[in-house]
Structure 1
Amino acid sequence: MNIYVSNLSFDVHDEDLKSFFAPFGEVTSAKVITDRATGRSKGFGFVEMADEAASKKAITELDGTTVDNRTISVSVAKPKEERSSRGNNRGGFNSGKSYNENRY
């Protein structure tokens, strides 16, 4: 099961995140999301656990707990929504429509 963890301290790293969940069962991956430009944590991450029952127990017991003086939120991760491309013709600055097209 994929788990979403938010409101993480900027000092929390992948291994720290993994260690928070390890007492509940096997953690197959733990990733703190970072800014591409700066490498700094964005304050959230994802944990994947092999066992669904262990995942649910971890979510229940860790949600609302305090880690590094911050109250974290833990929930089931939702699938990433499909993003449309920039050239989607919905209008806006990059719509491809000429400014003068509707003037005359």
Structure 2
Amino acid sequence: MSKKIYVGNLSCNITENNLTNLFTQYGEVLSANIITDRRTNKSKGFGFVEMEDVNAAETAIFAYNGLDFDGQNLRVNVAESGN
């Protein structure tokens, strides 16, 4: 069973590949999506990562919440069911 993770306070320089590479350190990443503004196509500063293994996802959440990543302190937690 996979687990979806919310990743907030992202720098506008961060790409989906950057997120994938970051979270792959803890396990297999099924998807990484950065939410963008429809009109400008610029990042809204948050995204979602889906990881294959629930335990790996929990470990990544603990490790990355508050991490300085490209000059921003990440906010990382379990995505709410509406996401």
TM-score normalized by the length of structure 2: 0.95
Between the two proteins, the alignment pairs up a number of residues equal to 81
Classify the secondary structure of the residue corresponding to 1:79: coil
Correspondence 1:55 to 2:57: yes
Stretches of structure 1 that go unaligned for 5 or more consecutive residues are 82-104
4+ residue runs over 3 A deviation: none
TM-score normalized by the length of structure 1: 0.76
1:1-104 equivalences under 5 Å are 1-80=3-82
Which structure would you say has the larger RCO, counting Cα contacts within 8 Å and 6 or more residues apart? Answer: 2
Counterpart in the other structure of 1:100: none
Stretches of structure 2 that go unaligned for 5 or more consecutive residues are none
Which structure has the larger Rg over C-alpha atoms? 1
Higher strand share: 2
Q: CA RMSD in A?
A: 1.0
In the TM superposition, what is the alpha-carbon distance from 1:10 to its structure 2 partner? 0.6
